Amino acid sequence: MGFYLLIIGILVLFSVVRLGQLRERNFLALAMLFLYLLATLRAVEIGNDTRHYSEIFAEVRSNLTQLTLEAGYLCINSLIGSFTDNFYVFLAVTDAVIYYAYYKLIKKYSSNYVLSVLLFLCFGFWGDTINIIRQELAIAMFLYVYILTDDGKKIRGFILGILAPLFQRTSLSYFIYFLIPRRINKKFYAIAGPIGVLTVLLIDRIIMLVTRFVPRFGRYLLDTSKYKLGRVEPAVVLYCVFLLVVWALALYVYEHAGDNIESDEWTVQIEMQINMVFTAFLIMLVATKFNLLDRCAMFFNIFVIILIPNMISMIKKDEYRHLVQSGFTLAAIGYFVVVCIFRPDWNHIYPYRMFFQSLN
């Protein structure tokens, strides 16, 4: 655990002692490169499905037609496999796609790069890049969609978004993004909120209806599935409450920020981030009744790592700003220790080993 705590300690220090924009940008690049290398050079025992991914990579090279995974994921396996049989080359390429997306998101939208990296590590997003590669590739595609759309390249972004389900089918839910208003809209909250609550109440009927049209989905309702309809997972409830707190606090701070917001463009960004976290909360609320759906919230969840630093920067009084930053920092470290360390069945990143330390 000391290895991770050392990394967290360094991030905490530099998130408090600001380095200046240029140095923070360099620090961001180095920090993300370091986390990228940890993810890429891990032993096959690190990550819930890493060994399985390595077996798929080997099998794709010899028997592609027998596999039933999404076409995009099989294609990238096949493409890389046509050049090398080294699984770590595969990880290097796929992780580069994933980590560059997160790097671009933080660099473009966060007011405190180091704090965003700390939240990325501690709230389990880094662990997700190790545990669920297919889902993370889909999320990366939509992060590129978000950035392209914000730059006015909507058609290019939409086309790129079509690629996401080719890596993971659940990313079809990420197209909700195109329905989210860019500005804070009370009508949006008034409509989306009750829809979320109604979905929770009717989730049993909705799931059964879905299985009629998508029979493959029915396998999640079997007794052998780890996803149980109606079973409440404490971690999902905790994360749902966390998202609600972040959204409510950010909305309150934003409404009282006054001239503490840099520009009109930044105002639009903050409002969009608040709406994204609200959407994540609603999806996680539904996931409290069917925890498979927490993956449908993953793209929206990631916006907490930029909204929290941005919210903190809007707080006028220094003492309140320091208090809120300390609170979120402690919450992040606590989450990391409890979930990422002591629940390896959820997020198997501890104890960390590199590929040459593998226990094969």
Q: Which residues of the chain have pLDDT under 70?
A: 1, 61-68, 214-231, 258-263, 341, 343-347, 358-360
Residue 24 belongs to a domain: no
Residue 29 belongs to a domain: no
Contact between 326 and 12 (Cβ < 8 Å): no
Contact between 57 and 87 (Cβ < 8 Å): yes
Residue 195 belongs to a domain: yes
Residue 80 belongs to a domain: no
pLDDT at residue number 328: 95
Domains contained in the chain, number: 1
pLDDT at residue number 267: 84
Tokens of 8: 């967290």
pLDDT at residue number 108: 94
CA distance 246 to 10: 24
pLDDT at residue number 300: 96
Q: Which range marks the domain in which residue 205 is found?
A: 180-316
pLDDT at residue number 353: 83
Residue 266 belongs to a domain: yes
Residue 337 CA, distance from chain mean position: 18
Instruction: State if pTM tops 0.75.
Output: yes
pLDDT for 103-154, tens place per residue? 999 999 999 999 999 999 999 899 999 989 999 999 999 999 999 998 888 8
Sign of CA dihedral 242, 248, 249, 251: positive
CB neighbour list of residue 96: distance below 8 Å, 6 or more residues apart: 36
Kindly list the distances between the CA atom of residue 305 and the CA atoms of 122, 301, 343, 349, 357, in Å, as whole numbers in the listed order. 10, 8, 22, 20, 32
Residue 323 belongs to a domain: no
Residue 160: which of 139, 145, 149 has the closest Cα? 145
Determine phi and psi for 313, rounding to 5 degrees.
Answer: -65, -20
Determine phi and psi for 39, rounding to 5 degrees.
Answer: -70, -40
CA distance 207 to 217: 9
Residue 309 belongs to a domain: yes
CA distance 150 to 148: 5
